[in-house]
Amino acid sequence: MDEVGYVSGQTRLFGIVGHPIAQVRSPEMVTAELVGRGLNAVLVPLHVLPQDFEPCLRSLKRLQNLDGLIFTTPFKQTALALADELTVQAREVGAINALACREDGTWIGDIFDGLGCVEAFRRRDYPLAGRAIMLIGAGGAGRAIAIAIAHVGPRALRIFDIEPERARRLADEVAAIDPTIEVSVGEPSVEGIDILLNASPVGMLSDPRMPIEATRLPAELIVFDAIVKPEPTKLLALARESGCRTVMGREMMRGQISKIVDFYQLQNGKRLTAG
């Protein structure tokens, strides 16, 4: 093979910025979506150390063929400052996971994590409305998920975070969006819960821990884990052993990917062309 078709001098660049980076699935999934739409574009992993974030990102935004970025742990909140404009959702969540360069050179930020999770449940036909939900993790992904869910009418939402203040703050925001939701803050538990959501990094890659202490889960529970590697996570493996229905991080990603590429195509306009 002398040449390969997928990258050339005209290729438009997208990147996912994170630390660590090896676990991310966006490079293959977003690139497949871009290429599948006939675009000459690729999304590559960009491993940025937290201490390098500000100067590195300031410079990356100056690359003339970079049209968009995705942010993952631990940068979803820090990345907010990179946007010249934010969507309503991004302002509500206080974090972004996608940044697009518009034709005038300004950057707009949005967040798709929460919508991706809600979309994954919709595709499975597992209703969130009227259900009692336990959410573990109130960081970037957790906040996005809680706020998206607050808009679809759950009966109750219990939130846990290793930083109790962060959980409390998110609970208040959910209550402000829909005061009819029974919002509470508490330790991870499946007591009285219909749906268990993990949006914490516990269990990622070779982390042997579980986000909840359990050796068995109630079979009627629906369990979701935002983590995409390993697949399944230890939590999802236990859920399957226990007979629970599960929703994988990859399903949340699939819902997101399509919406993120829509966002890029809309914002980048003419620069992002078929090729």
If one asks whether residue 29 binds a second copy (CB under 8 A), the answer comes out as yes
- Least distance (Å) from a second copy to the CB of residue 202? 19
If one asks whether residue 74 binds a second copy (CB under 8 A), the answer comes out as no
If one asks whether residue 96 binds a second copy (CB under 8 A), the answer comes out as no
Is 76 known to be catalytic?
yes
249 contacts 225 by C-beta, under 8 angstroms: yes
Can you tell me which residue has the tokens 């946007």? 83
Contact string (CB under 8 A) for a second copy, positions 237-266, x = contact:
------------------------------
C-alpha–C-alpha distance, residues 32 and 80, integer Å: 27
C-alpha–C-alpha distance, residues 137 and 188, integer Å: 10
If one asks whether residue 49 binds a second copy (CB under 8 A), the answer comes out as yes
Q: Alpha carbon of 137 to those of 17, 88, 164, 168: distances in Å?
A: 21, 22, 10, 12
Interface segment toward a second copy; rule CB under 8 A; list 54-62, 76-84, 125-133, 167-175? 54-62
Interface segment toward a second copy; rule CB under 8 A; list 32-40, 184-192, 208-216, 236-244? 32-40
For a second copy, the binding residue among 59, 163, 219, 273 (CB under 8 A) is 59
- Which has the closest alpha carbon to 199: 211, 213, 189, 190? 211
If one asks whether residue 274 binds a second copy (CB under 8 A), the answer comes out as no
If one asks whether residue 58 binds a second copy (CB under 8 A), the answer comes out as yes
Interface segment toward a second copy; rule CB under 8 A; list 57-65, 107-115, 231-239, 262-270? 57-65
User: Which residue, 105 or 130, is less far from a second copy as judged by CB?
Assistant: 105
State the DSSP H helix or E strand holding residue 252, giving kind and residue range, or none if neither: helix 249-268
Q: Is 132 exposed, middle or buried (0-12, 13-18, 19+ CB in 10 A)?
A: middle
- The half-sphere exposure of 138 on its side-chain side, counting CA atoms within 13 A, is 24
If one asks whether residue 65 binds a second copy (CB under 8 A), the answer comes out as yes
For a second copy, the binding residue among 31, 89, 198, 233 (CB under 8 A) is 31
User: Which residue, 26 or 267, is less far from a second copy as judged by CB?
Assistant: 26
If one asks whether residue 1 binds a second copy (CB under 8 A), the answer comes out as yes
Amino acid 76 reads K
If one asks whether residue 203 binds a second copy (CB under 8 A), the answer comes out as no
Residues of this chain, 208-237, that bind a second copy according to CB under 8 A: 229
If one asks whether residue 52 binds a second copy (CB under 8 A), the answer comes out as yes
- Least distance (Å) from a second copy to the CB of residue 164? 32
Residues 6+ apart with CB under 8 A from 179: none
Count other C-beta atoms under 10 Å from residue 168's C-beta: 16
Residues 6+ apart with CB under 8 A from 30: 14, 16, 43, 70, 257, 260, 261
If one asks whether residue 128 binds a second copy (CB under 8 A), the answer comes out as no
E-state strands within 72-209: 85-86, 98-101, 107-110, 132-136, 156-160, 182-185, 195-198
The residues carrying an active-site annotation are 76
The contact set with a second copy (CB under 8 A) reads 1-11, 13, 16, 19, 21-29, 31-32, 35-36, 42-49, 52, 55-56, 58-60, 62-65, 229
